Amino acid sequence: MGLLPLLKRDYGRCLHLPAHGRGAALPEDLQRLLRVRAGVWDLPELPDLGGPLERQGAVAESQRQAALMIGVQRGWYGVNGATGLLQAALLAMARPGQAVLMPRNVHRSLIQACVLGDLTPVLFDLPFMADRGHVSPPDGPWLEEVLAELPNLGVEIAAAVLIHPSYQGYATDLKPLVARLHRQGLPVLVDEAHGAHFASGVDVSLPASAVAAGADLIVHSLHKSAAGLTQSAVLWWQGDRVDPIAVERSLGWLQTTSPSALLLASCEAAIEDFFKPAGRRKLLLRLEQAKALAIRLKQFGLPLLETQDPLRLLWHTAAAGINGLDADSWLIKRGLVAELPEPGSLTFCLGLARQRGLARVMLRRWGQLVEKLGTGAPLPEFVPPPLPKLAVPFQSCGISWRASSQRLPLVDAVGRIAAELVCPYPPGIPLVIPGERLDQQRVDWLVDQQIIWGDQIPVDIAVTE
């Protein structure tokens, strides 16, 4: 039984989430609270406090104030991460049997919501960047092509989902996309788990937030892109396309009946931090330091990939012939802990805590890494998944997930229907979802992915009987 000592251990440079950097960038009020008698803050929904779904009480009032600060009509704090709030939001937007339009890079929580709510995910493919194996966000013409194909599918679409920014920090001008989906008659949920700081408005060079883009529901993961404790998140509502009562009913299904008062207070503190002078100064400074760090690393030859979020620093390991997962294992042993290893890159989350001397450490480690694992030539280009622009699972996700299933080696699964997600974590983006029929091309591609993702991709898969 050794969990407690692990929580105190020094892991070296933590360039992973949560963004508060092991407490260093927690809002001051919260730091003070945590220093008072241990556990004194662990309270139930006392009448004075209330909870996210109560009309009265301090939590209700705090949510009202937070919504005012962000500039939306309502907000609900969540203690089960962006995961719980995305699922509640999706279930509020579509009824069983309806379909939801979403990009291929959705987080698995949204596919799981489709299973829970008997919804059909209509997945659209995304532009692929072969030098790194990442997808980029859709632009207007791309979305137009997707929408043009919708009538051929013969399904009733109730809502649309967009991801902004991606895990790595790729973002786009969301406003025209949201407006186009609205013209199509679709309410829009934006998974802005990684972009809460865009809504702070501290730096005009950051992409505009989904809030400003007019999305109907927006989810912010406050531990990923604000100074919240792990599991803290918020769901914002604006406009008149989604019924807030439906949102509350879904939240009631999917949230615990005993939300942690500490986590709720952390939601409040993280959002307030964006609007208090000290918090704004801190965020602005971190953004400037991050931009300066990237310039310095590039000057000294470290290949970085550009994204729209300066707080995500991406080493392009493929450029030196190194798989990002191998780079990660090597670096962890040397005290440099990244957030997201992928076959072509390694994403570091710089977070909100001060990172002293990081340029020196990174340059030294990069040099050693290239010497040790570099091949002198870039990795071959990554192959995009063989998928149509728009795809509906062959059979309902929910039915396939619940069906009796058997496990088969991937290579023997051609022609069969997946009964589970295939989903490396992180990033938690499914490569296969329940209900999809696996054709030869897809299986061949998955087998190739096993080579580059290692044991993140199992050698067998559950398929329906």
Q: Write out the residues near ligand PLP by the rule CB under 6 A.
A: 81-83, 86, 107, 109, 163, 167, 191, 193-194, 221, 224, 233, 426-428
Q: Which is nearer to ligand PLP, 13 or 224 (CB)?
A: 224
Least Cβ distance, residue 105 to ligand PLP (angstroms):
8
Q: Which is nearer to ligand PLP, 83 or 396 (CB)?
A: 83
Q: Which is nearer to ligand PLP, 89 or 379 (CB)?
A: 89
Q: Give the Cβ contact number of residue 455 at 10 Å.
A: 9
Q: Which is nearer to ligand PLP, 214 or 428 (CB)?
A: 428
Least Cβ distance, residue 166 to ligand PLP (angstroms):
7
Least Cβ distance, residue 232 to ligand PLP (angstroms):
8
Q: Which is nearer to ligand PLP, 103 or 289 (CB)?
A: 103
Least Cβ distance, residue 367 to ligand PLP (angstroms):
30
Least Cβ distance, residue 134 to ligand PLP (angstroms):
13
Q: Which is nearer to ligand PLP, 234 or 319 (CB)?
A: 234
Least Cβ distance, residue 191 to ligand PLP (angstroms):
5
Q: Which is nearer to ligand PLP, 107 or 132 (CB)?
A: 107
Closest residue by Cα to residue 223 from 16, 13, 6: 16
Beta-strand relationship, 99-103 and 157-163: parallel
- 226 close to 274: Cβ distance less than 8 angstroms: yes
| Three-class HEC string of the chain | CCHHHHHHCCCCEECCCCCCCCCCCCCHHHHHHHHCCCCCCCCCCCCCCCCCCCCCCHHHHHHHHHHHHHCCCEEEEECCHHHHHHHHHHHHHCCCCCEEEEECCCCHHHHHHHHHHCCEEEEECCCEECCCCEECCCCHHHHHHHHHHHHHHCCCEEEEEEECCCCCCCCCCHHHHHHHHHHCCCCEEEECCCCHHHHHCCCCCCCCCCCCCCCCEEEEEHHHHCCCCCCCEEEEECCCCCCHHHHHHHHHHHCCCCCCHHHHHHHHHHHHHCCCHHHHHHHHHHHHHHHHHHHHHHHCCCCEECCCCCCEEEECHHHHCCCHHHHHHHHHCCCEECCEEECCEEEEECCCCCCCCHHHHHHHHHHHHHHHHCCCCCCCCCCCCCCCCEECCCCCHHHHHHCCEEEEEHHHCCCCEECCCECCCCCCCCCECCCCECCHHHHHHHHHHHHHHHHHCCCEEEEEC
Least Cβ distance, residue 168 to ligand PLP (angstroms):
10
Least Cβ distance, residue 189 to ligand PLP (angstroms):
11
Q: Which is nearer to ligand PLP, 132 or 416 (CB)?
A: 132
Q: Which is nearer to ligand PLP, 186 or 229 (CB)?
A: 229
Q: Which is nearer to ligand PLP, 219 or 302 (CB)?
A: 219
| Dist. CA 215–CA 201, nearest whole Å | 17
By CB atoms closer than 10 A (0-12, 13-18, 19+), residue 414 is middle
Q: Which is nearer to ligand PLP, 263 or 443 (CB)?
A: 263
By CB atoms closer than 10 A (0-12, 13-18, 19+), residue 380 is exposed
Least Cβ distance, residue 337 to ligand PLP (angstroms):
16
Least Cβ distance, residue 356 to ligand PLP (angstroms):
27
Least Cβ distance, residue 137 to ligand PLP (angstroms):
12
Q: How far is CA 299 from CA 10, 102, 294, 368, in A?
A: 31, 39, 9, 17
Least Cβ distance, residue 223 to ligand PLP (angstroms):
6
Q: Which residue, judged by CB position, is nearest to ligand PLP in the bound state?
A: 81
Residue 418's DSSP bridge partners are 463
Q: Which is nearer to ligand PLP, 161 or 181 (CB)?
A: 161
